[in-house]
Amino acid sequence: MAQTVTKVAARTEGLRKMYGVGDASVEALRGITLEFEAGGFTAIMGPSGSGKSTLLHCLAGLDTPTEGHVFIGDVDITELSERQLTQLRRDKIGFIFQAYNLIPTLTAEENITLPLDIAGRDVDPDWFDEVVDTTGLRDRLSHKPTELSGGQQQRVAGARALVSRPEIVFADEPTGNLDSRSSDELLTFLRGAVTDHGQTIVMVTHDARAASFADRAVFLGDGRVVDEMQAPTAERILDRLKSLEV
């Protein structure tokens, strides 16, 4: 079986998303076609209302597009049933949200292994150790989320997203609630996952500094892709954003 290894981890084709009906309807995505390379770190940027969160939700199978297709690997997820989507999220996708990432009743370790526990899969101890050590959470594993700082909580969420070796990790404003030091720690960790382990990450953010950790920045405006930038720096991004907002 000569199966070619796709270099694309996820892609969209003519993605449209409408909310509401008739006159009251709002078009959040107006035809987006994008590819996300395997092993790449992409930042999706844009002003509020540009559709970046909607795009992420559609990519992750949390929201269903009105039109168009989303592929994770070779699978068109717009064709999947709710049960298959759940399974896809469990096995192939990792998530980091802005807040409320953790289950308060579980320890840090249990939170990290949650997706594997849900799937009933065994934890790869070597990989687990590596993830834990890179996040620097070794001595915090038995703590409950309320006993962790905001930065530590987000790193636990990051570790959780990586521990099941998903094909792609989606991060939705992961640094939105963090101070700059904690942000840097988390972003360095994500950067490392891409560089050292070839993890694919797609991150929505409005923070130029956060986006500068990515390989590529995609700019959305009014539901469309308006620009792209390879190896972005914070300054270049800020300039670009200014021109978009005018």
Tell me which H or E stretch contains 61. Answer: none
Residue whose CB is less far from another protein, 94 or 232? 94
Q: What are phi and psi of 106, to 5 degrees?
A: -105, 150
Q: How many CA atoms lie within 13 A of 34 on its CB side?
A: 30
* Pairwise CA distance, residues 153 & 155, whole Å: 5
Q: How far is the CB of 227 from another protein (least distance, A)?
A: 27
Q: How far is the CB of 119 from another protein (least distance, A)?
A: 7
Residue whose CB is less far from another protein, 93 or 208? 93
Q: Could you tell me the CA-to-CA distances from 92 to 60, 86, 87, 196, 243 in Å, in that order? A: 10, 10, 8, 19, 37
* Pairwise CA distance, residues 187 & 43, whole Å: 12
Residue whose CB is less far from another protein, 102 or 214? 102
Q: How far is the CB of 29 from another protein (least distance, A)?
A: 14
Residue whose CB is less far from another protein, 110 or 215? 110
Residues in contact with another protein by CB under 8 A are 57, 60, 62-63, 82-83, 86-87, 89-91, 93, 95, 97, 100-106, 114-115, 117-120, 160
Q: How far is the CB of 162 from another protein (least distance, A)?
A: 12
Q: Which two tokens stand for residue 121?
A: 């899969």
Q: How far is the CB of 126 from another protein (least distance, A)?
A: 22
Q: Are 161 and 83 in contact (CB under 8 A)?
A: no
Residue whose CB is less far from another protein, 116 or 217? 116
